Amino acid sequence: MDKSKIKLVAMDLDGTLTQHKEKLDQDHKNALDALSKKYKLIMVGAGKAERIFNQMNRYPIDIIGNYGLQYATYNKETKSLDIKRDLVFPTDKEKTEGLVTYFREKYGFTSYRGDNVEYHSSGCITFPILGTKAIQEDKLSFDPDRKKRRAIYEEVVSAFSDYNVFVGGSSSFDMSPKPYNKYYALDLYCKENNIPHQCVVYIGDDYGLGGNDESVYKSDFNYLTIDDYRDFMEVIKVLL
């Protein structure tokens, strides 16, 4: 990475800048403030832009949500987000239910709480192995090292050929309609804003097999890996 060329710092949220689903704390806010003095900042998330914005305590930053299906800019006057893009894809629920049921029966995932599949308004879907109403404790203990899901990951990818598939959290597979993933989203943003890839650095923790940052990690974008959000201030020292 040639630091002198960097203009844009893009980053993930959960596990990178915050603890999963937790609010942005003061130390990390200060780190963003320091970065913003030198670079343009943007969030690249798997969830909705508004959810990311609220989790960040409404920090003034542009946000790519839903793997690029959504894009929102920060409005300084209203101190809120202006949604610039909000795409919705149709879902073949009958086919999806059949595929998820197939994997449940094949691998013994037949005991679950709530719904078989979680459908998101964007067209993204989640295969919650323990169901949509699983107990948090059970979810966290199911597959924390992701070995169970990575063992069948390629098979799930092949079956859901219309989607990009990610090993999500500790007990699910998350899916976004192709071609949308974090690489596609960041590349699209760069094309729309005439920013060469060499002028971008991405920071993310989920860069392993099936991780939702993997597509950026394996690309030509500069990438700073992080394995614990508490190390964020140390990781960004190279940029300051």
Domain containing 198 — which CATH number? 3.40.50.1000
Same domain, yes or no, for 100 and 78? Answer: no
Low-confidence ranges of the chain (pLDDT < 70): none
Same domain, yes or no, for 161 and 187? Answer: no
Output the domain CATH number for residue 150: 3.30.1240.20
Check: pTM over 0.85? Answer yes or no.
yes
The alpha carbon of 92 is separated from its chain's Cα centroid by a whole number of angstroms, namely: 23
What is the structure's pLDDT at 21?
85
Same domain, yes or no, for 189 and 230? Answer: yes
Same domain, yes or no, for 78 and 189? Answer: yes
Same domain, yes or no, for 53 and 122? Answer: no
Q: How many domains does the chain have?
A: 2
What is the structure's pLDDT at 5?
96
What is the structure's pLDDT at 166?
97
- Cβ neighbours, 10 Å, residue 85: 15
Which residues in the chain belong to E strands, given as ranges?
8-11, 40-44, 62-65, 70-75, 80-86, 118-119, 125-128, 163-168, 172-177, 200-204, 222-225
Write down which residue in 135, 152, 177 finishes a domain.
177
* Structural domain that includes position 187: 3-86+180-239
- Cβ neighbours, 10 Å, residue 29: 15
Decide: 186 and 216 in contact? Cβ < 8 Å: yes
The torsion of the CA quartet 66, 71, 73, 78, rounded to 10 degrees, works out to -70
